[in-house]
Structure 1
Amino acid sequence: MDTHFWKIEMGQANTEIYQQAAEFLKKGETVAFPTETVYGLGADATSEQAVQKIYQAKGRPADNPLIVHIAKKEQMHDFVTEIPQQAAQLIDAFWPGPLTIILPVRSGALARNVTAGLQTVGVRMPSHPVSLALLEAAYLPIAAPSANRSGRPSPTSAAHVAEDLTGQIAGIVDGGETGVGLESTVIDCTTEVPTILRPGGVSIEQIEQVIGQVHSAKRVLDSAEAPKAPGMKYTHYAPNAPVFIVEGSVEFWHETIRKQQEAGEKVGLLVSEGLADKLMDMDNLEIWLTTSREKSLDQVAQQLYKGLRAFDHTDCSVILAESYERTEIGEAIMNRLEKAAGSKYLREATEGR
C-alpha cells in the first residue's frame, strides 16, 4: 500500500489537505493525524471494514476497544444512549482536551469491533487544531488508537508514525510534534462512582475537583477478561531493549550501571538532567534526558515516548529509567514506564526492609 503524506503549514488554512484526508476516511481508509496527546490512527467508527484496517495495520488484539473521536459534542447523541450528570460536568470542564469518557453505546450505531463487543464506548474531543479540523471535515465518529505498531512506544511525531506504519496505512497528516506526549485519561462514567481506567493528560486531582471522589482501577486484567479501555491489559510502550525502573541513591545508580556493564550490557539511561550530571563520570553510556534539573513532569511526559524510541536507533541492550513522583501527570508517566518495563524495578535495599 502507498502511504500518502500531507504536511500542515501552521498559520495557513490547509483546507485542501483536510478535505483530501477526510475523503480518505469517508471512503473507509485509515489516516494518521496528530492530537494534543499522541498521533492517532483514524478510521470511520461506523464501518467494520474500515475499523478492521486499524487492527490489521497495528497488529492490535481484537478484544482491545478503540476510542471514538468527535469534532462536536452533539455527535455523541448518534451513538450513546445516556450522558450521566458527572460525565456532562467533565465534558464541560475538560473538552476539548485529553479526557476520554466511557459511556453506554447505542446498539448498532457503531461497528462492533470499535467496542470489542462491549456495551460501552470511550469518547473524546481532542483539542489539537489539526485533529479538530480533520474531524470536522469528515464529520464522522472516528475510531483512533495511537498510530504505532501494537506494543511499541506511542508516536509523538509524524516521523514516528512513518517509522512504524508506512505501507500499512493510507495516509499521514503531519501536524508537527504533539503537546502532552501521553495518551488521554480514561474515566468510566457508567459506574456508580466514576472509575479512572487509565491515567493520562488530565490528572485524578483535576477530575476530583470537578466531580468529587473517583475510583482508580489498579488491577491488571487476566487473559480471559475484556478491557473496557486501551492500556489496561497488554504490554505497551516498549522499545526493543528491556527497560528497568531504578529507585535508589546516586551510589546505587553507579553500582547498578557497573553491574550491567560487567555483564556485557550496553546501558542506556532515560533520566533527568540533574541525575545525568551525577553519572557523567561513567563511560560508554547512551543518555536521553527527560527533563531539566527542575524535573518538570510535563516535560517528562513530552519526552518519554521520544526517548524510548530513540534507544532503538542505538546499540543499547538495556535501558535504565528514572522514576518520578506519582502526583498530577506523574501518575500517568509511571503507568507508561511500568508498562514499558513490564513492571521490572531495581530498588536499593534499605535498613529494616
Structure 2
Amino acid sequence: MSDRVEVHPVNPQGRLIEAAAERLVEGALVLCPTDAGYTLVWSQASRDAEERVQRLRALDTKHPFTLLCAAMSEAGRLARLDNRTFQLFRSLTPGPCTFILPASPELPRRLKQSKRRTIGIRIPDHPVTQALIAAVREPLLSTTAALPDDEDVPSHDAEAMAERWLRHVDVMLDAGDCPPGPTSIIDASGKDEPQVVRQGFQPLPF
C-alpha cells in the first residue's frame, strides 16, 4: 500500500525525509515534488523500480532517464563539462533545466551497463528534492510522472497527482502544489554551441 507523506515545502521534516530515503535505498519508487512538477525518483541501484517505470510509462529499455544531483560537484563526476558548458550550467542551476552532457568515464557501473555516451543531469531548486538527494547521499534517477494517457493531468497539482499515482508508487512526498514545469532541455553533448531542445516554463536568458 502506498504512503502519502505530507512534508513542509520549505523546511521538510528531517525524520520524514530520512524515512523516504531509507525506502529508496530499499528499492522503492517515490513521487517527489520538484521545481518543475512532481517527478518519479528511484535509487540508481534499483532495477525493479526502473522496470516498473518502464512498464507504467510504456518506455523501451533504451529510454534515457535523468539524474537529479544536489550540487555541481556531483554533476562534474557524472559528466564532462568544458569551460563553456560549465559556465552555462552554473548560471542556470539549480533550477528547472535538464542538461544533456557527455557521460564521464567515472559513471557508476550500474549506469555504464547501458553503454550510454550522454547523460541527462539537472540540479532541482526545491527543498524537498534537495533534502531527499542529500539523505540518500547520491544522485537519484528520475523521469516525468506521466502515464501514456496523462495529457490533461497537471503534474504540479498535488491532489491530481495523488489521485493518478498513489496506486502505482510506494511513497508520495506531498508538499502541496509546486511549479508547473516542464523543464527546459539543453543539449550540450556535442562540439557545437549548446542547443535548446525544449523551452520550459521559465524563459531562458539566451
For 1:170, the aligned partner's letter is D
2:82 is the counterpart of 1:76: no
| SS of equivalent to 2:150 | coil
* 1:148 and 1:164 in contact (8 A); partners too: no
Instruction: Note the C-alpha offset of 1:39.
Output: 0.4
| SS of equivalent to 2:70 | coil
Instruction: Note the C-alpha offset of 1:183.
Output: 1.3
Q: Distance in 2 between matches of 1:51 and 1:110?
A: 16
Instruction: Note the C-alpha offset of 1:110.
Output: 5.8
Q: Distance in 1 between matches of 2:30 and 2:38?
A: 10
Based on CA coordinates, which of the two structures has the bigger radius of gyration?
1
| SS of equivalent to 1:187 | strand
Q: Distance in 2 between matches of 1:186 and 1:10?
A: 25
Mean Cα displacement is larger for which, 183-192 or 70-79? 70-79
2:158 is matched with 158
1:144 is matched with 142
| SS of equivalent to 1:145 | strand
Q: Distance in 1 between matches of 2:68 and 2:133?
A: 8
2:37 is the counterpart of 1:38: yes
Cα distance change, pair 116–177 in 1 and its aligned pair in 2 (3 A): farther
Q: Distance in 2 between matches of 1:157 and 1:96?
A: 22
For 2:169, the aligned partner's letter is I
Cα distance change, pair 72–110 in 1 and its aligned pair in 2 (3 A): farther
User: Greater RCO between the two (CA within 8 Å, min separation 6)?
Assistant: 2
2:18 is matched with 19
Q: TM-score, normalised by structure 1?
A: 0.52
Instruction: Note the C-alpha offset of 1:109.
Output: 1.7
Instruction: Note the C-alpha offset of 1:69.
Output: 0.4
For 1:92, the aligned partner's letter is R
Q: Distance in 2 between matches of 1:12 and 1:156?
A: 19
1:174 is matched with 174
For 1:93, the aligned partner's letter is S
2:128 is the counterpart of 1:134: no
| SS of equivalent to 1:182 | coil
Q: Distance in 1 between matches of 2:10 and 2:74?
A: 28
Instruction: Note the C-alpha offset of 1:112.
Output: 4.5
Instruction: Note the C-alpha offset of 1:151.
Output: 4.7
Q: State the percentage of identical aligned residues.
A: 22
Cα distance change, pair 70–53 in 1 and its aligned pair in 2 (3 A): same
Q: Distance in 1 between matches of 2:115 and 2:160?
A: 30
1:104 is matched with 102
Q: Distance in 1 between matches of 2:164 and 2:144?
A: 11
| SS of equivalent to 2:119 | strand
Q: Distance in 2 between matches of 1:105 and 1:30?
A: 25
Any stretches of 5+ residues in structure 2 without a counterpart? Answer: none
Q: Distance in 2 between matches of 1:167 and 1:202?
A: 31
1:194-343 maps to which residues of 2 (within 5 A)? 194-204=194-204, 206=205, 208=206
Q: Distance in 1 between matches of 2:69 and 2:187?
A: 18
* 2:185 and 2:196 in contact (8 A); partners too: yes
* 1:155 and 1:161 in contact (8 A); partners too: yes
**Deviation beyond 6 Å, 4+ runs, structure 1:** none
| SS of equivalent to 2:86 | helix
For 2:193, the aligned partner's letter is V
- Root-mean-square deviation (Å): 2.3
Once the two structures are superposed, residues 27-76 of structure 1 have per-residue CA deviations (whole angstroms, 9 ceiling, x without a partner) of 12111110111100001134433322322333334333111101122112
Q: Distance in 1 between matches of 2:120 and 2:50?
A: 15
Once the two structures are superposed, residues 210-254 of structure 1 have per-residue CA deviations (whole angstroms, 9 ceiling, x without a partner) of xxxxxxxxxxxxxxxxxxxxxxxxxxxxxxxxxxxxxxxxxxxxx
Q: Distance in 2 between matches of 1:110 and 1:201?
A: 34
* 2:12 and 2:127 in contact (8 A); partners too: no
1:120 is matched with 118
Any stretches of 5+ residues in structure 1 without a counterpart? Answer: 209-353
* 1:79 and 1:110 in contact (8 A); partners too: no
